[in-house]
């Protein structure tokens, strides 16, 4: 037992230790074509969608595939707000990293915006967590053994963790 407590303390990383602080946002009224162009320009897989400066949702490459390409919608006409994932699932910077991973598994998501007093301050992804440290990989392995990972998350774990 004493060994477990020491290990838990050692593994108590926070979201703020791993998160990316430069988060790219997009207005909800812009088109999905503009969203795709922004993702390409910055080499990222998601954008936080804002309405009057407030984070309202997230648009990911997967959203574009499932809700635009697969449904043959016009990227020049379709608004970001019509295909974004919402409501936004968020965590605070001081959230324990293990709790963030549990939330990702529960909600079947790979990206978590980080909000401090309703202000967007960062973004943490499952890939960021998996790459961060061997300690985090231990947490992911332990959690993956306890609970079946959703297919999309399993790919990241198999690639980075196994």
Share of the chain above pLDDT 90, in %: 64
Residue 156: pLDDT band (50, 70, 90) is confident
The answer to whether residues 140 and 157 touch, using CB atoms and an 8 Å cutoff, is yes
d(CA 162, CA 159): 7
Query: What global pTM score does this model have?
Result: 0.75
Under the banding of pLDDT at 50, 70 and 90, the label for residue 115 is very high
pLDDT tens track for 24-82? 999 999 999 999 999 999 999 999 999 988 899 999 999 999 999 999 999 999 999 99
Instruction: Give yes or no for a contact between 59 and 35, defined as CB atoms under 8 angstroms apart.
Output: yes
Domains and CATH numbers, the chain: 1-19+93-112+125-162 (no CATH), 21-89 (3.10.580.10)
- What contacts 24, CB < 8 A, 6 or more positions away? 38, 42, 44, 47, 48
Mean pLDDT over 89-111 rounds to 94
């Amino acid at each position: 037992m004493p060994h477990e407590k020491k290990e838990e303390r050692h593994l108590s990383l926070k979201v703020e230790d791993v998160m990316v602080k430069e988060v790219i946002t997009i207005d909800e009224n812009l088109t999905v074509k503009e969203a795709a162009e922004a993702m390409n320009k910055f080499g990222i897989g998601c954008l936080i969608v804002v309405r009057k400066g407030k984070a309202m949702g997230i648009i990911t490459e997967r959203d574009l595939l499932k809700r635009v390409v697969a449904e043959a919608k016009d990227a020049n006409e379709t608004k970001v707000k019509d295909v974004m994932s919402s409501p936004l699932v968020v965590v605070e910077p001081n959230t324990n990293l293990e709790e963030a991973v549990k939330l990702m598994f529960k909600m079947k998501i790979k990206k978590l915006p980080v909000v401090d007093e309703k202000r967007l301050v960062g973004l943490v992804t499952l890939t960021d967590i998996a790459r961060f440290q061997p300690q985090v990989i231990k947490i992911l392995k332990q959690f993956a053994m306890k609970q079946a990972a959703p297919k999309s998350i399993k790919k990241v774990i198999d690639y980075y963790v196994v």
